């Protein structure tokens, strides 16, 4: 790896762990993005989830009201919008909304999308090849004892900072698999405890996320009956996340919120290894093309995706290479090296990124709780840095101007993507509420 990347202006800011905004200069008009994946792939994932809906309803009765569809609400948060404006003395034009993946059924985080989808896809493959079902069958059949017994010969493994492990662990245990979750040092204790209560084997590592993934992958590869959910490279996870976009379109339509050139949509998503925000962004761009503007948000000590994209080195560089620790209170975002697959797909699509200090995670958390009475976990709160700072940085102000959006800002919609929170136990919520960092 050469040292030329050190000359890129944003790298200096990242190295100093300064909060910053970065605009992606490699973004292209959507028509010229030249992607090798597209809407047909998202439709395929959506169809598969539909086939599994009867099974999901059976295993997770809380999804019955929604016909076995695991989906979250999209809500207006005008009081939070005002609060952010006051906190920063800035203006957030248009309307601010919250996408409550924090409250998704089963896993209580955005990982309920990709994680559960990948487990189900693997389950369908095994069941079809064993002749247990055909795609025309009612998949509720897969919850019968003879199927569970069949699945119990197989193991699912995954490396995680916490939430992916929860999602894969809970979903896999419901199907009947043996499950092993490889947890990095950043994972919170309650997440490990919860998994163990579902009968999941949790292996703890003193090292970071990349090391936990590497060891999990190695152990899984040794066992022919084990399947590894590879967060760093998985197209399945990515497509499971991308389905969110089609569902969001229905929600915006129902709420009469248009998205077009005169009504731009801005979306801010907390980013770890990149799969979840990348998959959602891919889906959103497929639907709205140039009229949706997607920004990721990462902690100042773990801006893995920003570093990979700004240098063009993707998974060939880690935050430790520029002297950062990779450690953050945002456990879901504690990733030092990004997914190379996701970074490359994001190159023509992503508008940019923001980084923020850990202290703000708790400030935003308290603000949302006191204004809207909604609790989301600290990692998810990173999303608010986007709307709060869009018009504060020169970089993003220039983005608005260069894209001819100035006149449309009053009609814009801004979605902070709340990526997790509903499973956080009460005593931990109290602890978060009282956490104040310098």
The SS3 assignment for 393 reads coil
The distance of closest approach from Cβ of residue 134 to ligand PLP in the complex, given in angstroms and rounded to an integer, is 33
The reply on whether position 276 binds ligand PLP by CB under 6 A is yes
Task: Identify which of residues 277 and 352 has a Cβ nearer to ligand PLP in the complex.
Answer: 277
Q: How far is the CB of 381 from ligand PLP (least distance, A)?
A: 9
Write down the least CB distance from residue 189 to ligand PLP, Å. 16
Smallest separation (angstroms) from ligand PLP to the CB of 277: 5
- Least distance in angstroms from the C-beta of 162 to ligand PLP: 7
Binding status of residue 386 toward ligand PLP by CB under 6 A: no
**CA distances in angstroms from 240 to 122, 182, 246, listed in the order given:** 13, 21, 11
Closer to ligand PLP by Cβ: residue 109 or 311: 109
274 lies in the binding site for ligand PLP (CB under 6 A): yes
Show the tokens assigned to 39: 């809407």
* Residue 409 structure tokens: 């800002």
- Those residues with Cβ within 8 angstroms of residue 19's Cβ, 6 or more apart along the chain or in another chain: 300, 354, 355, 356, 357, 385
Taking residues 253 to 272 in sequence order and writing x for each that binds ligand PLP by CB under 6 A, - otherwise, the string is -----------------xxx
In angstroms, what is the minimal distance from the CB of 360 to ligand PLP?
15
User: Within positions 45 to 64, which residues make up the interface with ligand PLP, using CB under 6 A?
Assistant: none
Cα Rg of the chain (Å, integer): 21
329 versus 414: smaller Cβ distance to ligand PLP: 329
220 is a site residue for ligand PLP (CB under 6 A): no
In a 3-state reduction of DSSP, which class is residue 328?
coil
What residues between 102 and 161 interact with ligand PLP by CB under 6 A?
109-111
Find tokens 């379109």 and name the residue: 249
Stretch that binds ligand PLP, among 23-31, 244-252, 310-318, 377-385 (CB under 6 A): 377-385
DSSP calls for 398-420: HHHHHTT-GGGGGG-EEEEEE-B
H helices, E strands: number in the chain: 17, 11
What is the DSSP track for 173-239?
Answer: HHHT-EEEEEE-TTS-HHHHHHHHHTT-EEEE-SS-HHHHHHHHHHHHHT-TTEEEE-TTT-HHHHH
Q: Which of 139, 420, 422, 424 binds ligand PLP (CB under 6 A)?
A: 420
> Which residues are near ligand PLP by CB under 6 A?
109-111, 163-164, 270-277, 332-333, 377, 379-380, 419-420
């Amino acid at each position: 790896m050469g040292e030329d990347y050190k000359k890129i202006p944003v790298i200096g800011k990242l190295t100093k762990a300064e909060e910053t905004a970065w605009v992606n200069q490699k973004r292209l008009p959507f028509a010229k993005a030249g992607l090798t994946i597209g809407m047909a792939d998202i439709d395929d994932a959506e169809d598969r989830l539909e086939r599994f809906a009867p099974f999901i309803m059976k295993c997770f009765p809380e999804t019955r009201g929604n016909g076995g569809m695991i989906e979250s609400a999209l809500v207006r948060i005008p009081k939070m919008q005002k609060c952010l404006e006051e906190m920063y003395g800035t203006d957030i034009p248009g309307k601010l909304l919250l996408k409550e993946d924090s409250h998704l059924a089963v896993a209580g985080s955005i990982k309920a999308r990709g994680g559960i989808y990948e487990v189900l896809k693997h389950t369908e493959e095994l069941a079809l090849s064993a002749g247990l079902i055909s795609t025309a069958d009612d998949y509720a059949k897969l919850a019968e004892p003879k199927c569970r017994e069949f699945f119990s010969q197989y193991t699912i493994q995954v490396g995680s900072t916490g939430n992916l492990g929860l999602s894969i662990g809970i979903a896999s245990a419901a199907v009947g698999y043996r499950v092993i979750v490889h947890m990095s040092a950043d994972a919170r204790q309650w997440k490990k405890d919860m998994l163990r209560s579902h009968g999941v084997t949790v292996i703890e590592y003193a090292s970071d996320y990349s090391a936990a993934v590497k060891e999990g992958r190695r152990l899984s590869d040794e066992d022919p009956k084990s399947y590894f959910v590879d967060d760093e490279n998985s197209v399945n996870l990515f497509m499971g996340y991308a389905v969110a976009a089609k569902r969001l379109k229905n929600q915006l339509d129902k709420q009469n919120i248009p998205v077009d050139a005169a009504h731009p949509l801005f979306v801010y998503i907390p980013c770890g290894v990149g799969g979840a925000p990348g998959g959602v962004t891919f889906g959103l761009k497929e639907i709205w093309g140039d009229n949706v503007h997607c920004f990721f948000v990462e902690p100042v000590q773990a801006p893995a995706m920003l570093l990979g994209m700004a240098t063009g080195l993707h998974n060939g560089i880690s935050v430790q290479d520029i002297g950062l620790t990779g450690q953050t209170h945002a456990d879901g975002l504690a990733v030092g090296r990004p997914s190379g697959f996701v970074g490359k797909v994001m190159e023509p699509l992503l508008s940019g990124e923001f980084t923020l200090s850990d202290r703000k995670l708790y400030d935003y958390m308290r603000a949302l709780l006191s204004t809207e009475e909604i609790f989301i976990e600290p990692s998810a709160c990173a999303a608010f840095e986007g709307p709060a700072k869009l018009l504060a940085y020169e970089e993003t102000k220039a983005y608005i101007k260069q894209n001819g959006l100035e006149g449309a800002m009053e009609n814009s919609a801004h979605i902070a993507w709340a990526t997790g929170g509903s499973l956080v136990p009460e005593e931990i919520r109290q602890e978060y509420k009282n956490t104040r960092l310098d």
